[in-house]
Amino acid sequence: VDITNEYGADALRLGLLLMAAPGRDIKMSIKRIEGYRNFLTKVWNATRFAQTYLGECQESDWDAPAGVTEQWIRSRLADTQQKVKVAFEAYRLDEAGHAIYHFIWHELCDWYIELSKRPLRDGSAEQSAAARAALADALSGALRLLHPFCPFVTDALWPALPTFMHESDSLCLAKLSFDAQRNVDSEAQIALAIEAVGLLRGLRGQVGINPRESLSVRLQVSDPERLGQLDSA
């Protein structure tokens, strides 16, 4: 009861499920429960950011051609859905939870939301529409997957999605869908961008360049085709 009062029921529930690997006793870790509370705070903040733009969503947004970043986040959702499906069938709730955690924190929040800010704020009408549609798809998929682990927070965030994406008023009555499609080309292109950004951040730290200082960067790859749509994104 004290842990629930301090960190919330969803953080405790998520922590217990993710620590419950077969063949081991659960050793309660308050630091990990605190970490999952922070994760849910990140989900909350990401949804509130998305809500700023999803209020403008129309069904016609899905007709806009998706760029490489929009293709990428849908592909990563598809990969996560498949991992969760396999884990659920094997009753490996810990593996399912870790896959969902990784997708939401490291791919949706850390990368796609950051990559989407430019088209959402400064892009053409077509680019903004494509970004909104992909953001709505990714957030809808994330909340559906996370709901069995964190029912209270996800149900509270469900109304942030466009009304026409709701098949029910409550997320607990919505489908746990596994219908996203993989796009390995977009995954390879964004993986290259993520690798390049990681190397640049490491280089800044090594030579003491301020993270806020603007740099001109030239990217050279052995196979130019790996750049795909990145050179025009």
| Contact between 105 and 166 (Cβ < 8 Å) | no
Single pTM value for the model: 0.88
Which residue's structure tokens are 């990145």?
230
Quickly state the pLDDT bin for 50 (edges 50, 70, 90). very high
Rounded Cα distance between 68 and 75, Å, is 10
Q: Report whether pLDDT(5) > 90.
A: yes
Q: What does the DSSP 8-state code read for residue 109?
A: I
Average pLDDT over residues 135-152: 96
Q: What number of other Cβ atoms are within 10 A of residue 179's Cβ?
A: 10
Residue 84: name the closest of 189, 191, 179, 187 by CA.
179
> Would the pLDDT of 223 be above 80?
no
- Name the residue among 33, 40, 29 with its Cα closest to residue 12: 33
Percent of the chain predicted with pLDDT > 90: 67
Burial class (CB within 10 angstroms; exposed 0-12, middle 13-18, buried 19+) of 175: exposed
Give the whole-angstrom CA distance, residue 108 versus residue 74: 10
The least confident of 21-25, 68-72, 135-139, 141-145 is 21-25
**Lowest mean pLDDT segment, chosen from 9-13, 15-19, 186-190, 223-227:** 223-227
Question: Does residue 233 have a pLDDT over 50?
Answer: no
Please report the pLDDT score of residue 224 as a whole number: 65
Q: Phi and psi at residue 161, in whole multiples of 5°?
A: -75, 155
Using CA atoms, how far apart are residues 145 and 178, in angstroms rounded to an integer?
9
d(CA 50, CA 90): 33
Q: What is the pLDDT of residue 209?
A: 82
